[in-house]
Amino acid sequence: MRSLRALPALLAAAALALCGCYSFSQTVLPSHLKTVSIAPAKNLTYQAAMGDKLTQGIQEMFRKEAPSLRQVNSQGQAEFEITLKSYTNTPHSYNSSGTVDEYSVAIVVDVEFRDNVKEETIYKGTGLRGSGIYSMSKGESEELHGQTRALEEIQQLIVNNALSGW
């Protein structure tokens, strides 16, 4: 009788422990999808290399987060399309003398992840935003610092949202 009263607490503790250990694995993915094609991002911005960096980052994250999906160049059972809609680099904060101390890079993308076997959309996101702040006072005088942070944030958001769509 005493062990039955302890069971709900034990189950709750086990559930909490598992929450922190969740990751995507082969058992989470639909069994009918074996391949994915990740098309080069359509880049509508003036940042020429940004589309390539975005695509390469997403491809790498898919290799890590969904290793059971083999990446193919085209006609995958699942297809991933990304459009880089906008890119900005704007002042974020000023120091006491009125000069810019921090800048913020922002990237906005649209994404669609489709299941070509079942002919349905797995995930669609519009206006997804990633941002990265870089600081002059910390010696980060190049926009590249902010770009890197913004790309990492948007890539993580895209892959997490796409894979959680299952």
Partners of 120 in beta bridges:
115
Q: What does the pLDDT read at residue 140?
A: 85
Q: What does the pLDDT read at residue 34?
A: 93
- pLDDT tens per residue across all 166 residues of the chain: 544 454 444 444 444 444 433 344 333 567 889 999 999 999 999 999 999 999 999 999 999 998 888 999 989 999 999 999 999 999 999 999 999 999 999 999 999 999 999 999 989 999 999 999 999 888 888 899 999 999 999 999 999 988 886 6
Give the total residue count for the chain.
166
Q: What does the pLDDT read at residue 162?
A: 87
Rounded Cα distance between 63 and 26, Å, is: 12
Q: What does the pLDDT read at residue 29?
A: 64
Buried b / exposed e along 124-137 (16+ C-beta atoms within 10 A): ebeebebbbbbbee
Q: Does domain 29-164 have CATH number 3.90.1170.50?
A: no
Q: What does the pLDDT read at residue 38?
A: 95
Domain edges within the chain? 29-164
Say whether pTM exceeds 0.85.
Answer: no
